[in-house]
Amino acid sequence: MSVVRRLGAHLPALALGAVFVALLVSERRRPLRARSAPEPPRLAANLATGAAAALTVALAEEPVVQRLAREVERRRWGLLPRLGLPAPAATALGLALMDYTLFLWHILLHRSDTLWRWHRYHHADPDLDTGTALRFHPMELLWSVPWRAGQVLLIGTSPALLKLWGQLTLAEVMFQHSNLRLPPPLERALSRVIVTPALHGLHHANREALQRSNLSSGLTVWDRLHGSYRPAEAPQHVTIGLPVDAG
Ligand SMILES: [Zn+2]
């Protein structure tokens, strides 16, 4: 394999790494919220958690879900192959359905006591920035394996679609957790379509009602349809953390 092809195979991982570093630099230049805790120890802890999370996904999720996606593609299981759509339309619909079912999973993470026990670790970060995007408890990721398998099986997600969705979602998750203040016109335009840092900041506010809003990990349309969309008005006044008013 030539060097160029070998580099090409690693391009998505390199691009995701570049997005992470670009967000880390940008959020320092244009912060959205003032920090409440020193950043270096938090970033170190979140990077360590991210390494444990990546290991969990590599050992527990990928072998199960990727194998299932190969089987789904070979046997033409699930919704997408039945629709007979042209490839670009099938890809777009598949990405939207994977995003919608991830939104449903996020609702469950907040509504089920068992799942909240692990998802609360993600919300317990006293600040919200790019590093928080890596802060997922390995137990939450283990619980998500059967859900992910169900998504792939019902939607009919091929390995290529699964990979594309995973990469786009990770980039968007890093962006929405960042502490980056966008120029108001860009904030308004983007929030019509995707979750911005200001919108997701409300989901990480330390108030029960706010944490039940803006649950999407990608498109804002799901929150709008479910009545959980809350526009970002004054995000700099939001206090990040676990709910202080939970029953
Ligand atoms: Zn959450």
> Which phi and psi (to 5°) does residue 180 adopt?
-95, 125
Residue 14 lies in a domain: no
Residue 236 — pLDDT band, cuts 50, 70, 90?
A: low
User: Which pLDDT belongs to residue 6?
Assistant: 76
Residue 57 lies in a domain: yes
CA of 146 to the centre of ligand 1 (A): 19
Residue 54 lies in a domain: yes
CA of 215 to the centre of ligand 1 (A): 6
Bridge partners, 194 (sequence order): 219
Residue 55 lies in a domain: yes
* pLDDT tens figures, 162-194: 999 999 999 999 999 999 999 999 999 999 999
Average pLDDT (237-244) is 86
Joined tokens for residue 226: 């479910």
Residue 27 lies in a domain: no
CA of 4 to the centre of ligand 1 (A): 40
User: Which pLDDT belongs to residue 8?
Assistant: 74
* pLDDT tens figures, 123-153: 999 999 999 999 999 999 999 999 999 999 9
* pLDDT tens figures, 190-235: 999 999 999 999 999 998 889 999 999 999 999 999 999 999 876 5
201 SS3 class: helix
Domain count, the chain: 1
Residue 24 lies in a domain: no
Residue 158 lies in a domain: yes
User: Which pLDDT belongs to residue 247?
Assistant: 45
CA of 185 to the centre of ligand 1 (A): 27
Closest CA to 151 of 64, 219, 88: 64
User: Which pLDDT belongs to residue 7?
Assistant: 72
Residue 191 lies in a domain: yes
CA of 39 to the centre of ligand 1 (A): 21
Write out the residue range of the structural domain in which residue 105 sits: 41-237
Closest CA to 137 of 80, 70, 56: 56
Is residue 103 pLDDT above 80, yes or no?
yes
79 within 8 A of 163, measured Cβ to Cβ: no
CA of 195 to the centre of ligand 1 (A): 13
CA of 107 to the centre of ligand 1 (A): 8
Highest mean pLDDT (candidates 4-8, 47-51, 239-243): 47-51
CA of 203 to the centre of ligand 1 (A): 7
CA of 216 to the centre of ligand 1 (A): 9
